[in-house]
Amino acid sequence: MKNLDNYAVAVRKPDHEIIIEKGEYRSLSERYAICRMPIFRGVVSFGESLYIGMKTLTFSSEFFEEEEGEPDKVEQFLTRVFGDKLDKVIMGVTMVFSVVLAMGLFMLLPFYLSYLLKPLIASHAVRTAIEGLIRVGIFFLYLVLISQMEDIRRVFMYHGAEHKTINCLEHGVELTPENIKKHSRLHKRCGTSFLLIVMIVSIFVFMFIRVDSLLWKLVLRLLLVPLVAGISYEFIRLAGRSDNPLVNALSRPGMCLQYLTTREPDLDMIEVAVSAVEGVFDWREYQEAMREGLIED
């Protein structure tokens, strides 16, 4: 969970004890005015979320590794080479690999497949729309496949616990596992919705790419990803604050997709989510301020 400059990750150890790791990260938007401007703030937020997410995942994985026994020869070699910096190196390599894989799978592959249709479909706009539909299809298939993995299903259950806890909090209800269990596991500001919006926005942005060179078509797509992410962030930000019927209708596809990326959590998982919330702020004080009208949400 993250609140302003503070974040916390809660992990339930094999002995059922909940460990909370707290941290502080001062956003670039606080240091540079340009990072607070529309579009730019979305790019910054996306990058910082990736960084903090990988950092917290690295922390949580340490508890699993402790149960695995002695490190193997490869791990021993890497420890000798990198020393105490090994976790940071692994995190960096994982982030780079993940970004490259995502770009190839969700950006370049759909473009290549749609480009093969050029002899059959002359319209650039139609091919770009098909490219976008292929991208959404690959994303949907990817989610379906990984959701079959036992570990990923548990991740999705924790994802559901996160959403339920935030929904309960924002409705001003006391954060008990029993209360939280009653709330929806869907949320407008979810990263799943953000990714779907990215794919839809990319269709319209990529229609403006009018170059003949195949290489430049690919390069421009990659260069425009930050712009697409920034526009998508602005929509998610608006959706999270608005009950406008049109905004709600546009948010519906992303909300429906969350049925894949969230699962109903058990009460133990919800307890972990509450611990993470309590690691970043006093939710009772927050709800009291809401009741007194000092804050809107």
Tens digits of per-residue pLDDT, 82-129?
777 777 777 778 778 888 888 889 888 999 999 999 999 999 999 999
Q: What is the number of structural domains in the chain? A: 1
Does residue 296 form part of some domain? no
Residue at token pair 């791990």:
75
Instruction: Please state, as a whole number, how many other Cβ atoms lie within 10 Å of the Cβ of residue 170.
Output: 15
Residue 240 has pLDDT above 60, yes or no: yes
Residue with token string 């993940």: 98
Does residue 168 belong to any structural domain of this protein?
yes
Query: Phi/psi of residue 276, each to 5°?
Result: -65, -40
Please report whether residue 109 resides in a domain.
yes
pLDDT in tens, 7-58: 999 999 888 899 999 999 888 988 899 999 999 999 999 888 888 887 888 7
Q: Are 295 and 289 in contact (CB under 8 A)?
A: yes
Angle at 154 between CA 287 and CA 180, to 5 degrees: 20
Is residue 297, in this structure, part of any structural domain at all? no
Q: pLDDT by residue (tens digit) across 16-28?
A: 899 999 999 888 9
Residue 136: pLDDT above 90?
yes
Q: Average pLDDT of the chain?
A: 88
Encode pLDDT of 164-216 as tens digits.
999 999 999 999 999 999 999 999 889 899 999 999 999 999 999 999 898 99
Between CA 144 and CA 154 the distance in angstroms is: 14
Q: Is 245 inside any structural domain?
A: yes
The residue range of the domain holding 163 is 2-291
> Using CA atoms, how far apart are residues 110 and 120, in angstroms rounded to an integer?
16
Give a yes or no: residue 266 inside a domain. yes
Q: Is the pLDDT of residue 71 over 70?
A: no
